[in-house]
Amino acid sequence: MRTDPLSFLGTELDSLRQQGLYRSLRVLQGRQEATSCFDGRKVVNLSSNNYLGLTTHPDLAARAVKAIEEFGVGSGSVRSIAGTMAIHMELERRLAAFKKTEAVVVFQSGFAANAGTVAAILTKDDVIISDELNHASIIDGCRLSKAAIKIFPHKNVDAARKILQDLPAAQRKLLITDGVFSMDGDLGSLPGLCDLAEEFGCIMMVDDAHASGVFGKQGRGTIDHFGMHGRVDIQVGTLSKAMGALGGYVAGSRTLIEFLYHRARPFLFSTSHPPSVTATCLAALDILEHDPAIIERLWENTRFFKSGLQTLGFNTGLSESPITPVIAGEGSRAMKLSDGLFAEGVFAQGIAYPTVARDKARVRTIVTASHTRDELQYALDAFKKVGKELGLI
């Protein structure tokens, strides 16, 4: 009988089980909302990236249905062959105006936008200077590019400067940071890094996946929030989080975008969005532009919930955004906190190594504009009960 060549994977999974780090997928029955049904249990949902509650917005759903009726369910091709539809171009024009750049190219996901762009623009002769907590899609893009990778400690502009000082002036350099860090909810050091990029002639790139729809005027992101328009060469955004649908995009100069049309591999080798997804994103942009109250509600809820956790005595790190980590220490403790909360009717995902450092395991909470005060207070009460049981507060 043939021995299973993949049996080593089972051994790895057993080891995760022994460490209390094995996770089964929580299954959502029904809609992604502020209170949702996961694994048959109604829970206050603090685990989605649905910042503005747009996943179930009737205008977005109506536009998606209309687009299916008008254009069908699929684009039928990659963008560079027959899969560029007029509606794709309309979304790119609208996003470019929104981000105040010359042009935009949309990818199938934020992951594809980051990885595809970094890998396309750099070669083995170049160097990338990257924050240690940058997102996995940036890290993968860096590896795919084959450029040298220099990591600076989280948000440490002085350390980034020291790296740059030691590099040959003529070498092509990419300085790259998340706008909002997805596991900690703090902001990248944009002003300091933009200064460095200008001083050392670097390409400046910011991944604003968690900032688009959240920070800046009408949700334009951290570049707008910090007043950095014109100083960031490559802005990445996602359509999968605050925008409620799916996709990612790169905003920048017309030259950059046309280059990516020719060289970004996810653009060239993976089918474009179904028109319904694109229509949904256009409807989400309309909401951002015409309903500023929705972002204000997100921030009111953020202030209420974050200060509630801090008053209870939890370690919430240095978050400045609707992402608030509750740091529990080692992995099994974070998983116990997450499981205890779930039993109390609150879903806050536990996150452990390798996603975060071994001693900084946490549950990550994300409030949305559509949570009610009652839902958030309910969640705070559950945190208080389970946090006390585990000796975290």
Ligand X SMILES: Cc1ncc(COP(=O)(O)O)c(C=O)c1O
Catalytic residue numbers, as ranges: 182, 210, 241
Give 109 or 222: the residue with its C-beta nearer to ligand X: 109
Give 319 or 336: the residue with its C-beta nearer to ligand X: 319
> How does DSSP assign 341-365, residue by residue?
HHHTTEE--EE-TTTS-GGGEEEEE
Check: CB of residue 155 under 8 Å from CB of residue 317: no
H or E segment and range at residue 326: strand 323-329
Tell me the C-alpha distance between 235 and 205, whole Å: 6
Site for ligand X in 297-326 (CB under 6 A): none
Q: Judged by CB under 6 A, which stretch of 11-19, 107-115, 190-198, 304-312 contacts ligand X?
A: 107-115
Site for ligand X in 259-288 (CB under 6 A): none
**Residue 60 CA from chain centroid, whole number:** 21
Query: Of 166, 164, 165, 111, which is closest to residue 141 (Cα–Cα)?
Result: 111
Site for ligand X contains 131 (CB under 6 A):
no
Query: Of 76, 101, 106, which is closest to residue 88 (Cα–Cα)?
Result: 106
Tell me the C-alpha distance between 138 and 119, whole Å: 9
Task: Please pick, from the candidates 105, 129, 209, 260, the single residue that binds ligand X as defined by CB under 6 A.
Answer: 209
Site for ligand X contains 173 (CB under 6 A):
no
Q: How far is the CB of 279 from ligand X (least distance, A)?
A: 18
Q: How far is the CB of 179 from ligand X (least distance, A)?
A: 8
**Residue 378 CA from chain centroid, whole number:** 26
Site for ligand X contains 238 (CB under 6 A):
yes
Task: Please pick, from the candidates 137, 222, 280, 370, the single residue that binds ligand X as defined by CB under 6 A.
Answer: 137
Q: How far is CA 392 from CA 33, 46, 349, in A?
A: 28, 19, 17
Give 120 or 382: the residue with its C-beta nearer to ligand X: 120
Check: CB of residue 43 under 8 Å from CB of residue 35: yes
Query: Of 231, 242, 311, 322, which is closest to residue 54 (Cα–Cα)?
Result: 242
Give 129 or 209: the residue with its C-beta nearer to ligand X: 209
Query: Of 315, 352, 356, which is closest to residue 332 (Cα–Cα)?
Result: 352
Torsion, Cα 65 49 366 175, to 10 degrees, reads: -150
Site for ligand X contains 210 (CB under 6 A):
yes
Task: Please pick, from the candidates 116, 248, 252, 387, the single residue that binds ligand X as defined by CB under 6 A.
Answer: 248
Site for ligand X contains 370 (CB under 6 A):
no
Site for ligand X contains 114 (CB under 6 A):
yes
Site for ligand X contains 244 (CB under 6 A):
no
Site for ligand X contains 111 (CB under 6 A):
yes
Cis upstream peptide for 274 (omega within 30°): no
In the chain, the N- to C-terminal Cα span, in Å, equals 55
Residue nearest to ligand X (CB): 110
Give 137 or 370: the residue with its C-beta nearer to ligand X: 137
Q: How far is the CB of 236 from ligand X (least distance, A)?
A: 7
Site for ligand X contains 101 (CB under 6 A):
no
Give 64 or 112: the residue with its C-beta nearer to ligand X: 112
Q: Assign 337 to helix, strand or coil.
A: helix
Size of the site for ligand X (CB under 6 A): 14
Q: How far is the CB of 238 from ligand X (least distance, A)?
A: 4
Query: Of 162, 223, 217, 213, which is closest to residue 188 (Cα–Cα)?
Result: 223
Give 333 or 360: the residue with its C-beta nearer to ligand X: 360
Site for ligand X contains 207 (CB under 6 A):
yes
* Contacting positions for ligand X (CB under 6 A): 109-111, 114, 135, 137, 178, 182, 207, 209-210, 238, 240, 248
